[in-house]
Chain A
């Protein structure tokens, strides 16, 4: 029995599909790739790994094996075996190349394959900066010729932030801070919508609102004050805008890339494994988590502080590991009451870990019923601090950047 069969049995016995995503297990399957694909599809549809009986029903030749070790053990063995097989194949192919094309071609092939296999075998991205200066030069040269050269990540859509911070970059962990009710979620959706307009795929995991509320909010933001309808029209189902909505939606959405929204309807647990599974499923360019305090911690924290800390670390690692920017909406402690200003870094609720882990902390404030959002950086890892105003009609979706509030 080979390592693929043992691993498949271990996945079925353990049921932790999220771990398979985290460990990039799919790459180890060659002979039994069809069974792996079946398990992955079953998980996507039913949020559960199929039973042995179900797999046997579809694949009568599937060999059942009594699992005696934890899933991680079989994953490690599979990675080792898979890599060994790839090394053998590469050596055999290079030997053939020496005869057929010559030693230089064989060396070229070996170098290319070795580089790929090192990437697969190393979970950490080890880099020798001295050796790689030419890569950085090529990257710099390419970017210097680009029209929007300031923005090296997914654009936020806000000129000031993109100029100074350079957009959301792979591995960024961004925290949005604000007192309750000031519009943190609106700002997070604005970033999602602006990314989508720029051709990127956002994933919004919303534990605060249901699917309909999310859709209405995103429709309103995309409408962007063009006057087809307002958020109130959508919420109250105004008959007068139904046809206008249809025409607008057809023009806006037809043939376009997705905006993935995950809401809590029917969901028992929303923890870091779920977030990882959704990233694996949708391969987004930008992830928005709303909000930090509502996520469960799979590592079994006993207090809110410990939970907030564990989740913060998990989300930061997830951003780096998946090379995707993650924006996390977080609350501010209310012990001293609601202040009329953007919160400071030390006022983040439950755990200071969020502030430590973040590459950018954006503090947001809006006075009661005001159209003016005050936005300021409280921590910036790769730029200078910045602050600005957004004048924003939340009902029409119309917004613009402002300096002078007079």
Chain B
């Protein structure tokens, strides 16, 4: 049975992303536990992950889960737009290839 992601999973994901991108993750308990749980309950976890990745890569200073939460809606929408745009580009390339090969 597939495990349902929890707030703790999201916090661990934040920490790993910060480590990989060389950014400072600032622990913020107990607030971050409640904020992370709320984020996971409200949004699709798979849509949250790329938005978190983008948030961390754009961060100049310390990274807090709370700061992400304040911008979460915009970041997730932006992230979805990015993914769709990349997917559309690949589809157009594939359609072009098929068209060229059929000529």
Partners in one complex: yes
- Partner of B85 from the list A160, A341, A386 (CB cut-off 8 Å) is A341
Q: Of residues B78, B96, B97, B103, which shows the largest number of chain A Cβ atoms within 10 Å of its Cβ?
A: B96
* A271 CB contacts on chain B under 8 angstroms: none
| B3 within 8 A of partner (CB) | no
Q: How far is the CA of A342 from the CA of B78 in the complex (A)?
A: 15
Per-position contact with B for A373-388: 1 when CB-CB < 8 Å, else 0? 0101100000011111
Determine whether the beta carbon of B93 is less than 8 Å from that of A339.
no
Per-position contact with B for A110-152: 1 when CB-CB < 8 Å, else 0? 0000000000000000000000000000000000000000000
Determine whether the beta carbon of B89 is less than 8 Å from that of A341.
yes
Q: Of residues A164, A377, A387, which shows the largest number of chain B Cβ atoms within 10 Å of its Cβ?
A: A387
Determine whether the beta carbon of A403 is less than 8 Å from that of B97.
yes
Determine whether the beta carbon of A164 is less than 8 Å from that of B99.
yes
| B1 within 8 A of partner (CB) | no
* Nearest-neighbor residue (CB-CB) of A365 within chain B: B89
| A81 within 8 A of partner (CB) | no
Given contacts A160-B100, A163-B100, contact A403 B78 (CB under 8 A): no
Return B20 CB to nearest CB of chain A, in Å.
Answer: 16
| B2 within 8 A of partner (CB) | no
Determine whether the beta carbon of B92 is less than 8 Å from that of A389.
no
Return A130 CB to nearest CB of chain B, in Å.
Answer: 33
Given contacts A160-B96, A164-B99, A387-B96, contact A336 B89 (CB under 8 A): no
- Partner of A385 from the list B82, B92, B103 (CB cut-off 8 Å) is B92
* Majority SS at the chain B contact face: helix
| B86 within 8 A of partner (CB) | yes
| Chain A, range 351-404, C-beta contacts under 8 Å to B | 374, 376-377, 384-389, 403
- Partner of B96 from the list A164, A342, A344, A374 (CB cut-off 8 Å) is A164
Return B64 CB to nearest CB of chain A, in Å.
Answer: 19
Q: How many A-B pairs fall under 8 Å by CB?
A: 44
| A337 within 8 A of partner (CB) | yes
* Nearest-neighbor residue (CB-CB) of B82 within chain A: A339
- Partner of B82 from the list A160, A164, A341 (CB cut-off 8 Å) is A341
| Chain B, range 42-87, C-beta contacts under 8 Å to A | 58, 78, 82, 85-86
* Nearest-neighbor residue (CB-CB) of B89 within chain A: A376
Given contacts A163-B100, A164-B99, A337-B58, contact A344 B85 (CB under 8 A): yes
* B58 CB contacts on chain A under 8 angstroms: 337
- Partner of A386 from the list B78, B86, B92, B103 (CB cut-off 8 Å) is B92
Return B15 CB to nearest CB of chain A, in Å.
Answer: 23
* A403 CB contacts on chain B under 8 angstroms: 93, 97
Determine whether the beta carbon of A387 is less than 8 Å from that of B89.
yes
Q: How far is the CA of A160 from the CA of B85 in the complex (A)?
A: 21
* Chain A interface (Cβ < 8 Å from any Cβ of B): 159-160, 163-164, 336-337, 339-342, 344, 374, 376-377, 384-389, 403
- Of all A-B residue pairs in the complex, the 10 with the closest CB atoms, nearest first, are A387-B92, A387-B93, A386-B96, A403-B97, A341-B86, A341-B85, A376-B89, A385-B92, A387-B96, A376-B92
